[in-house]
Amino acid sequence: MKVKSIYVCQECGAQAQKWLGRCPDCGAWNSLVEERTAPGIAGAGAAAASAGSRYALAASSGPRLYEEIATDVAERLSTGIGEFDRVLGGGVVPGSLVLIGGEPGIGKSTLLLQAAAHFANAIGTVLYCSGEESEHQIKSRGDRLGLGRAPLYLLAETCLERILEEIARLRPALMLHPG
């Protein structure tokens, strides 16, 4: 997959194929920033391109009456941590986003690392991406927890484009980003 660049205005969101000193839409000077994108994903066709993506939610045929929607069909993935699963209503719903909050040092990253190792053993490749810790720090914590071998990939990265490139390359079943 060839990666292309587009230039996006940080003031209004306008896109251009090349860098411009002044945004043609809002007139802001030096506001266009280069962003990398895969062909067919940028611009107005993004929603259409993502509709066929494995990360997109199921297509809706229109609004449905609340009482007609069955909730027993939502398969949940166990985290391998009973109390965490209970808090999540029985596990993680595929395609969902779960936000874990709390004070620094209470164990959010440790909890997610344990869940990531369980997911990797249960469902396949998992990408654990951290913007705060190095791969060495994460691996050391995993060793202390006795996580063992699993198809768990660690990535210390803050650049969204780089993270998306690795997701496209690895095609993980799950991606966790503790911070």
Instruction: Going from the first residue of the chain to its last (179 residues), give the mean pLDDT of each consecutive group of 10, the final group possibly shorter.
Output: 79 88 91 75 42 45 85 81 94 88 92 95 94 94 92 94 94 89
For residue 18, which of 4, 28, 29 has the smallest C-alpha distance? 4
Decide if 111 contacts 81 (C-beta within 8 A): yes
CA–CA separation, 25 vs 39, rounded Å? Answer: 23
CA geometry: angle at 83 spanning 142 and 121, to 5°? 40
User: For 55-60, which contacts have Cβ atoms below 8 Å and span 24 or more sequence positions?
Assistant: 55/95, 57/95
Whole-structure pTM over 0.85, yes or no? no
CA dihedral sign of residues 11, 15, 21, 22: negative
pLDDT digits over 87-97, tens only?
A: 999 999 888 88
Strands 174-176 and 126-130: parallel
